[in-house]
Homo-oligomer: A and B are copies of this chain.
Amino acid sequence: MPLDTETYTLPVARTIADLQAQVTAWRAEGLRIGFVPTMGALHEGHLSLVDLAARHADKVVVSIFVNPTQFAPHEDLDAYPRTEQEDAEKLAKRPAHLIFAPAAREMYPEEFDLSIQVSGPSEGLESDARPHFFAGVVTVVAKLFAAVKPDIATFGEKDYQQLLVVKKLVRDLDLGIEIVAGETTREQDGLAMSSRNAYLTSDERRRASQLYAALNNVADTIKQGASITEAREAGLAILHEAGFDPIDYLEVRDAETLTPLETVTSPARVLAAAKLGATRLIDNIPLEI
């Protein structure tokens, strides 16, 4: 298998054929395959998902692919950080066994005509701000699943709506892949790790932790007996005060279905997305009464 092993310690497959040659060989040995899809620019959040996958599988494939179809024309596709050399060095220190880093043309050959939608959990929240986002995510994840054919895959709770959408894809398409959720990894001040944090100025970086503070304030206020409406108002005030603008949403939703709640009687999730300067941040936390 012609893997590029000169530059990196870990083997890197550039084509689906090379990827499948390795995965098929592992499967023939009876090994269980874990998969961690990423867009690169790896931080400790991604690496914790690699560790998590390794606890559920014998071999872990990590994909690095900045998927163009989940970016809108005005979004940050070109600016999105690409750091493959550093990513490979980080992965070499973790229980990862193969990097799959295809070119866009390998995933989307000319005359690519496929689009997969999952309604239900994909509606609202992120879709209001980014209408084509989940169709892009679902289509590329389905293609990556078809290419890797993993037994299990890990997804971070930081992108909570995406996690539910991927679970629904697996269920509705009967893919038989176990989706394991990884808890959000945070900086010391609570800011959720994200590749997009690199866009923040130092002043914005200092204020960014107020997103997590606002989520916790909403959860705590509800736990103390306030209504969702009251709690949201208090949370929005924190975000405005910290300079977030616009605030795309700050919502309390059912944790399984993301349907809006009047009151919290079953496991819920507090979710927010807002811009700080030019950078859009998202985060969420669990809320159980």
Contacts and interface: CB of A to CB of B under 8 A. Distances in A.
A78 interface: no
B119 A117 contact: no
Contacts of A112: 172
A104 interface: no
Nearest to A116: B116
Chain A: number of interface residues, binned into ranges:
20 to 34
A249 to B, nearest CB: 21
A121 B111 CA distance: 10
Interface string A119-150: 11110000000000000000000110011000
Contact of A147 (B109, B114, B174): B174
A20 B174 CA distance: 11
Contact of A174 (B16, B113, B168, B174): B16
Interface string A158-177: 00000000001101111110
Interface string A46-86: 00000000000000000000000000000000000000000
A172 B114 contact: yes
Contacts of A118: 113-115
Contact of A114 (B114, B146, B173): B173
Interface in A242-284: none
A134 to B, nearest CB: 11
A142 B16 contact: no
Given A109-B172, A114-B116, A146-B175, 18 more contacts: A20-B176, A109-B171, A111-B120, A112-B172, A113-B119, A113-B121, A113-B122, A114-B117, A114-B118, A114-B168, A114-B172, A114-B173, A115-B117, A115-B118, A117-B117, A143-B173, A146-B174, A146-B176
